[in-house]
Amino acid sequence: MFNNVALVDLMGGLGNQIFQLNFANYLKSKGFKVYINLGWFNSDIFEDGTTKRSLLLNPLDFELETADRLMLNKFFRFENLLNAKVVSKLSLPILKKTYQLHTGHFFDEEKKIKYNRFSGYWQNQKYLRGQKDYLIESLSKISNFNQNLNKPTHKTLIHIRKTDYVKLGQELSETFYINAINKIIKEDKNFKYDIFTDEKNPSSDSKLFKNAENVNINSGENPIITISKMMNYKNYIIANSTFSLIPAFLSYSSDSVVIYPEPWFKHSQDSPPVEHTWRPVKNS
């Protein structure tokens, strides 16, 4: 019998889905009975401006169980009771000791109780640690993932994210990328790079794009295929996005250089889920 039950919400794009399934496996390793909630993908309205995404991963490939209607209803009953205007003084303390909603990127394990719902992105290096093999093995069960692996190059991958980040004011400056390139050039005399970007029409005046050997523009390709292509590089200049952080994490080695922006997000105190050997470059 399990003393603690966890319902983990799956949501967001591919990078976020990987982080959440990774976190679910972490909970499983800590003795939780874990279920995955796919309900987010059935909604078309997001009041916080979140972009609608598609479900790209099967929890079964990650050896995780999807919550059935009975399990979901059990959790929803707890939430409805907690949110009810009238709850008896006697039952409220019992309810709070039975059910807890956890959000964010960090879980205080001392606060676990019988039924725990996890609705967050869990982008924390603590939960990635020691799970690289698990993630690669799970992703390798997807045929689209395998078809572009094992084509290594000594080049550097640069990831540039625009689209929704421009609207949110979180896009990275070209100065960040130039400074990051200069750092790697000092260590790699044969420095060459490819760009992966979601920008449909990059500026023809940008030296960043002019000097790239290849520019891979998101044209509706399955994100799983794209992320597997991104895993073939030696060095990485990643954006403040899990879409480039994940392939860098899964494929970097001891002689790789991985550069990330600092701060990760403007006006946020959250620490990026990066390895201690990765190098920050200021984003102005």
pLDDT on residue 66: 98
Would you say the C-alpha torsion 253, 240, 126, 280 has a positive or negative sign?
positive
Residue among 57, 48, 22 nearest 130 (CA): 22
CA atoms of 5 and 28, how far apart (whole Å): 10
Residue among 127, 85, 84 nearest 102 (CA): 127
Residue among 179, 172, 191, 178 nearest 244 (CA): 172
- Are 235 and 253 within 8 A, CB to CB? no
DSSP conformational letter for 278: S
pTM, to two decimals: 0.91
In order of their start, the domains of the chain are 5-128 (no CATH), 142-282 (3.40.50)
C-alpha to C-alpha distances, 229 to 151, 213, 222, 279, nearest whole angstrom = 8, 15, 11, 23
In this structure, what token pair is assigned to residue 222?
């399955």
C-alpha to C-alpha distances, 271 to 93, 134, 191, 247, nearest whole angstrom = 34, 24, 29, 19
Residue type at 92?
L
Q: What is the pLDDT along the chain (284 residues), one digit of tens a residue?
A: 568 999 999 999 999 999 999 999 999 999 999 999 999 998 776 555 567 789 999 999 999 999 999 999 999 999 888 877 666 565 677 788 899 999 999 999 999 999 999 999 999 999 999 999 999 999 999 988 988 887 889 999 999 999 889 988 999 999 999 999 999 999 998 999 999 999 988 887 889 999 999 999 987 899 999 999 999 999 999 999 999 999 999 999 999 999 999 999 998 888 899 999 999 999 98
